Structure 1
Amino acid sequence: MRTVSSDVSVRLYHLDAAPEGGATTTLFYGSLDEALRLAAAEPEAIQADLYIATDNDVIAYLDLIEG
């Protein structure tokens, strides 16, 4: 398992996988701490489609917090 510092730069994005053509929307670029805070403030329905990307990895927000 990789160890990541709370101040590492990440991208928080929403992946809308709608059948009629989904879209990826970047919500935030910045520290992991801030990205997690912003993601936690989103409604549960949105949280299910949130992802956090580092320089070399991508993880679903819910997988990360349940992990």
Structure 2
Amino acid sequence: MRTTHDEVSVRLYHLSDGPEGGAAETLLYGPLHRALEIAAAQPQDVQEGLFIATDNDVVAYLDLIGD
């Protein structure tokens, strides 16, 4: 993910079938810091399908936090 700040607007979403595809459920449109809070509160199996999208990048939540 490109350099950003904790107030940048992002979309936090969950792909039901992981990175290979499936239905995308948006959990939040809002600031990055709030998306990270919500993502951290999810069960591990849900975290595996979470993605954060900015205007120009998409990154898997677990890759972002280095897990």
Same fold (TM over 0.5): yes
One-letter amino acid matched to 1:56: N
Look at both structures and tell me which one has the larger radius of gyration over its CA atoms: 1
2:2 is the counterpart of 1:2? yes
Instruction: Indicate the percent of aligned positions where both proteins have the same amino acid.
Output: 62
1:60 matched to 2:60: yes
Structure 1 position 24 matched with structure 2 position 55: no
CA offset digits 1:15-56 (Å, max 9, x no partner): 0117xx821100000000000000000000000000000000
Query: Which SS does the other structure have where 2:63 is aligned?
Result: helix
Distance 2:12 2:2 in 1: 18
Query: Unmatched 5+ residue regions in structure 1?
Result: none
TM-score (norm 1): 0.89
Q: What is residue 12 of structure 2 aligned with on the other side?
A: 12
Aligned length, in residue pairs: 65
Is the 2:2–2:57 Cα contact (8 Å) retained in structure 1?
Answer: no
The two structures have a TM-score, normalised by structure 2, of: 0.89
Specify the alignment match of 2:38 in structure 1.
Answer: 38
RMSD: 1.9
